[in-house]
Structure 1
Amino acid sequence: MERDSTAGGAEDLLLEDTVSKLRAGSLHKHELAEAMEVEQEGLVEHQPLEQDDLNFEKWKPKPKPKRTLHEKIDDLKTYLWNAETKEFMGRSGKSWSLILLFYSALYIFLAAMFAGCMCCLMWSISPYAPTYNDRVMPPGMTMFPHVDVAHGFDVAFNASDRSSWRKYAKALEAHLKSYDDGVQDRRNINCEGNTYFMQDDLEESAERKACQFKRSWLGECSGMKDKDFGYSKGKPCILVKMNRILGYLPGQGTPVHVTCGVKKGSTEGLGEVQFFPENIFNLRYYPYYGKLRHVNYSSPLVAVHFPSVPYDTQLHIQCKLNGRGIINDSPTDRFLGSVSFTLQVGA
């Protein structure tokens, strides 16, 4: 029994050894076949090119035959209307219908959405007063005549040369047309006192009354006695005013007054300065309620007269607003609470 078991074990070992050798041989043959295949591919890659392969002309794209004008016209006619396929510009009637329907619906939707947004916007805001007022509360200041935007507020002329100062007189005359006494009597009411003219108790859409500001109050600078506003005599006039700000109450209960002087140099070189009707902005012209409600509103003016300006001297003049809550020395905005200009009068 022991001999049989030993013999059976030896036979099993011999069989396993034989199987392993066969497997090793098959793996070796497989690796050998792969190596031969790679070598064959390398030989194919390094084979010399045939003569036919060196003929580069055959690889060049063949030129398209030139088409005649008649052929092009025929192609265009076919593109516009193909009688065989019943297509217009490459599309059938059904395709064109679907495209037109799609874009019509798209643009109708966009138009309706835009109209709805605009309606909501207009419904939510008031036409009489802005919802948010981002304008500065300290008012700006401007002057007339202002005839040359490119060169700023410069007034330079010769008293003996009418053509040099006529433009300034015409600009002042045009600006004062709405201040004529007859116009003010028809449009506005006569106000007295020096307090704010409050009209907040009226309905939002109700028209507000405006106080009169008559041209005759400007005296020597009204242009009624002297049509040349003093320019022909070398004694010019200018007009200054505050910019309009909706609902603004200047001076915090006290009038804002105006001063003018030489910005650079001695103040004595300017000579006497006269103001008409006075050098303050009366409080009865405030607050301003906007164009839709204050239809006939006339901004108050201060006329500045220079009766003794030296000839042939360029003066840098600055007029300032002075009062509570007024800023007139801003380094970034030269029109905030003040206005600067040059004045040069020649004989």
Structure 2
Amino acid sequence: MEAENTSGRAEELQLEPSAPKPRAGSMHKHHVLAESLEVEQEGLVEHQPLEQDDLNFERWKPKPKPKRTLHEKIDDLKTYLWNPETKEFMGRSGKSWSLILFFYSALYIFLAAMFAGCMCCLMWSISPYAPTYNDRVMPPGMTMSPHVDVVHGFEIHFNASDRSSWKKYAKALESQLKCECRLRAASECVLYNAQKLTDCVVIHDCAYDDTVQKRRNIECKQGTYFMQDNLEESAERKACQFKRSSLGPCSGMEQKDFGYASGKPCILLKMNRILGYLPGQGTPVNVTCAVKKGMLEELGEVEFYPKNIFDLMYYPYYGKLRHVNYTSPLVAVRFPNLQLGSYLHVQCKLNGKGIINDSPTDRFLGSVSFNLQVGA
């Protein structure tokens, strides 16, 4: 019986049709068809019309956060300042605060030390008395006083009979020569209009005053440079006297109005200081003033005080740390024969070896120009 069952099952198995094995080519075709169907379905979905729910944009807006009460905000702040559960202060543990404080302390100490080291190297390598490198233009410039409106150029316009019109010019000249208040040690002071204090006195220090010039500075030989290069670098240099009285009628000592009340105005010219500069190369630099726009006869004769030169004895200049009492020499220019009512454009120039007075870019290099008009 068992043998028959076995043979019967074998016959049934042989009678069942065998399933065909799939080929590799047919599998690839099925895969391609499936991908194309998916792409078509995605395209159909994209082109389907939007439903009403999709057009309701209000549903996509972020919902407003519920307003928090003041009590909740205060609780959150207290938790931020000190969280008793995590033992954190302002969001950081004690270890975290220690590390960050240590890091920034070390960083700033290093930066401060590096800056201090750089400054020490810089101060060690340079001299406080003379610059290591000088990029200034060596030919000097020239300035004038009074200058009350430099923004719109130098303009001197007044009526001799109207004091309010020329008062500002006289005041500017007086400020150029006036006494300057300074603090000095009691041992160095002379009671010159002085007011005593505890450890110092305030003196009215008139730099161009004749008495102060005699006390501080020395009389020098005119026409030669006053060289003091043989002294030590830090030694104080002597300065030559320049007395205010040498400016004559433009000193403001005899005529407090500097000639403006009589229609004979004065101006003061000064050559800019340049450390170690020897102007003129052995020949004094002279000053000339002429009409740049207008008639020469309308300007008339020009007077110079004390002379129309910058004497060589005031040079070279050794800097304010060594030339403590140095006062820049001045040249006063007076116009005694101006034609009243004439509008003149006057130019004063420096003339000498190595002097540039015709620069197209710098109007103060070796020259200065101003407009002058005097009324009755």
Question: TM-score scaled to structure 1, two decimals?
Answer: 0.88
CA distance in 2, matches of 1:189, 1:268: 42
Residues 294, 343 of structure 2: 8 Å contact kept: no
User: Which amino acid is 1:302 matched to?
Assistant: V
Is 1:35 aligned with 2:32? yes
- Range with bigger deviation, 227-236 or 71-80: 71-80
Is 1:66 aligned with 2:95? no
Is 1:215 aligned with 2:251? no
Superposition deviation, residue 159 in structure 1: 0.8
CA distance in 2, matches of 1:36, 1:136: 88
* Alignment deviations for residues 91-132 of structure 1 (CA, whole Å, 9 cap, x no partner): 111111111111111111111111111111111111100111
Superposition deviation, residue 68 in structure 1: 2.3
CA distance in 2, matches of 1:343, 1:292: 38
Superposition deviation, residue 27 in structure 1: 1.0
Superposition deviation, residue 137 in structure 1: 1.1
Superposition deviation, residue 248 in structure 1: 0.4
CA distance in 1, matches of 2:176, 2:108: 48
User: Which amino acid is 2:28 matched to?
Assistant: E
> Which residue in 2 is equivalent to 1:114?
115
Which consecutive unaligned segments of at least 5 residues does structure 1 have? 1-21
> Which residue in 1 is equivalent to 2:292?
263
Which consecutive unaligned segments of at least 5 residues does structure 2 have? 1-19, 179-206
> Which residue in 2 is equivalent to 1:171?
172
> Which residue in 2 is equivalent to 1:3?
none
CA distance in 2, matches of 1:223, 1:94: 76
Superposition deviation, residue 61 in structure 1: 4.5
CA distance in 2, matches of 1:309, 1:161: 17
> Which residue in 1 is equivalent to 2:312?
283
- In structure 2, the residue corresponding to 1:342 is in which secondary structure? strand
Superposition deviation, residue 334 in structure 1: 0.7
Superposition deviation, residue 176 in structure 1: 1.7
> Which residue in 2 is equivalent to 1:129?
130
User: Which amino acid is 2:166 matched to?
Assistant: W
User: Which amino acid is 2:38 matched to?
Assistant: E
> Which residue in 2 is equivalent to 1:96?
97
- In structure 2, the residue corresponding to 1:278 is in which secondary structure? coil
RMSD: 2.2
CA distance in 2, matches of 1:324, 1:285: 17
- Range with bigger deviation, 279-288 or 55-64: 55-64
1:102–1:226: structure 2 CA closer, same or farther, 3 Å change rule? same
Superposition deviation, residue 55 in structure 1: 8.7
User: Which amino acid is 2:96 matched to?
Assistant: S
Q: 1:245 aligns with which of 271, 274, 280?
A: 274
User: Which amino acid is 2:75 matched to?
Assistant: D
CA distance in 2, matches of 1:157, 1:50: 87
Superposition deviation, residue 54 in structure 1: 5.1
Is 1:156 aligned with 2:157? yes
Aligned length: 325
Residues 356, 365 of structure 2: 8 Å contact kept: yes
> Which residue in 2 is equivalent to 1:231?
260
CA distance in 1, matches of 2:289, 2:55: 95
Q: 1:328 aligns with which of 357, 364, 374?
A: 357
Superposition deviation, residue 53 in structure 1: 7.9
CA distance in 1, matches of 2:363, 2:60: 76
Between structures 1 and 2, the one with greater helix share = 1
> Which residue in 1 is equivalent to 2:16?
none
Residues 126, 132 of structure 2: 8 Å contact kept: yes
> Which residue in 2 is equivalent to 1:139?
140
1:276–1:43: structure 2 CA closer, same or farther, 3 Å change rule? closer
- Range with bigger deviation, 126-135 or 147-156: 147-156
1:337–1:52: structure 2 CA closer, same or farther, 3 Å change rule? closer
1:163–1:90: structure 2 CA closer, same or farther, 3 Å change rule? same
Superposition deviation, residue 36 in structure 1: 4.1
Q: 1:305 aligns with which of 318, 334, 344?
A: 334
Superposition deviation, residue 140 in structure 1: 0.4
CA distance in 1, matches of 2:223, 2:214: 20
- In structure 1, the residue corresponding to 2:257 is in which secondary structure? coil
Superposition deviation, residue 86 in structure 1: 0.9
User: Which amino acid is 1:82 matched to?
Assistant: N
CA distance in 1, matches of 2:147, 2:224: 31
1:330–1:27: structure 2 CA closer, same or farther, 3 Å change rule? same
CA distance in 2, matches of 1:111, 1:132: 28
* Alignment deviations for residues 10-29 of structure 1 (CA, whole Å, 9 cap, x no partner): xxxxxxxxxxxx99x52123
CA distance in 2, matches of 1:59, 1:136: 72
Q: In the TM superposition, what are the counterparts of 1:75-86 in structure 2 within 5 Å? A: 75-86=76-87
User: Which amino acid is 1:136 matched to?
Assistant: V
* Alignment deviations for residues 9-60 of structure 1 (CA, whole Å, 9 cap, x no partner): xxxxxxxxxxxxx99x521232133134324524653467998985967766
- In structure 2, the residue corresponding to 1:33 is in which secondary structure? helix
1:254–1:30: structure 2 CA closer, same or farther, 3 Å change rule? same
